[in-house]
Structure 1
Amino acid sequence: MAATAKRLYLGNPSTTLTTVYTVPVNTTTIVKSIVICNTSATDTTASIVISTAGIVYNMPIKGKDTVIIDMSLVMYANDTIQVQQGIANNLNITISGVEVA
């Protein structure tokens, strides 16, 4: 089995809960970190759902603040990551992990 470090998502999410990553068939993914950066001076919120479990729900993110969530969460084939921000164009989210196939 090969383990490959991977950026699972990098972007400015929608204001509706949107799937940004799906674990490939015959693969296990381990989510290692989530970085949420508010590039605006305006406070907003972030929501992240992994495999139907809310990781953060409407978490307040202050203007110009960065939140780092370290974890070791195992996902299986066809599990998904969904993200959402409260105000358009305020957040950049990076999700990193390891794919094992």
Structure 2
Amino acid sequence: MATTFKRLFGGSVPTANSTVNLYTVPTNYKTIIKSFIISNGSASGINVIVRVANTEILFNYILKAKDTIVIPVMDQCLIAGNAITIYVSGASNTNVISCYISGIEALTTDPEYSGVARMGLGIIPSSSSTIVSSWSKERIVKGIILCNTNSSDTEVTMEVGGVRILQGFSIKGYDTILIPTTDLLIPASEVITAAGYGINYYITGKELG
């Protein structure tokens, strides 16, 4: 089948204190992450780092004993060869740390998902800079993940087409937030700019027309 809704990973994290690959996008496919759950069954808190396409979307996050979190992935898109990895420290028995990831695998030629694309990823600089460039077509933004890799609270400013959607918004140290933009339209000639040192971003959207 060209498109499959599937479990991308389900099970325990087998190794502590080293990076573990949970999923890799197959050749000629793109993957849209729909759900990402991490559960800590141990009696103590653990430190978690999750990377998507080598970009941290969860960094030094302390997952409390017996706690479960849902990572706010919001339909983020990965391209062929991209991986989802996890690093867990502070757990004496990694078999009690479990993950469940669901998503859609679609052939890059599938017309239903051909317009779905990763619009940008990386680290927001300290001064305002373009993080999503102009394009030949109009686009809609489906979701923006921001991950603070600093230990201290950090402010973020973000503009879409010159209009501020974040104005000195403070993200707590080592926290991750989702901006649920839900079909925010960007005209072809416009860009997204941002400022906020040490903040990772991951943005997915869809081309129109």
* TM-score when normalising by structure 1: 0.86
- Structure 1 partner of 2:202: 94
How many angstroms does 1:56 deviate by? 0.4
Among 9, 12, 15, which residue is 2:120 paired with? 9
Q: Larger strand proportion, structure 1 or 2? A: 1
Q: Is the 8 A contact 1:23 1:29 kept in 2?
A: no
Does residue 39 of structure 1 match 2:178? Answer: no
Does residue 75 of structure 1 match 2:186? Answer: yes
Q: Which sections of structure 1, spanning at least 5 residues, go unmatched?
A: none
SS at match of 2:115: strand
Does residue 84 of structure 1 match 2:195? Answer: yes
Measure the CA separation in 1 of the matches of 2:189 and 2:133. Answer: 6
Find runs of 4+ consecutive structure 1 residues off by over 6 angstroms.
Answer: none
Bigger Rg, structure 1 or 2: 2
Deviations 1:36-72 (A, max 9, x none): 1012211111111001110101100100111101122
Measure the CA separation in 1 of the matches of 2:151 and 2:115. Answer: 36
Question: Cα RMSD over matched residues?
Answer: 1.4
Among 41, 48, 55, which residue is 2:165 paired with? 55
Q: Is the 8 A contact 1:48 1:54 kept in 2?
A: yes
Identity of aligned residues (%): 28
Q: Which sections of structure 2, spanning at least 5 residues, go unmatched?
A: 1-110
Does residue 66 of structure 1 match 2:176? Answer: yes
SS at match of 1:12: strand
SS at match of 1:31: strand
How many angstroms does 1:13 deviate by? 1.3
Read off the aligned partner of 2:206 and give its amino acid letter.
V
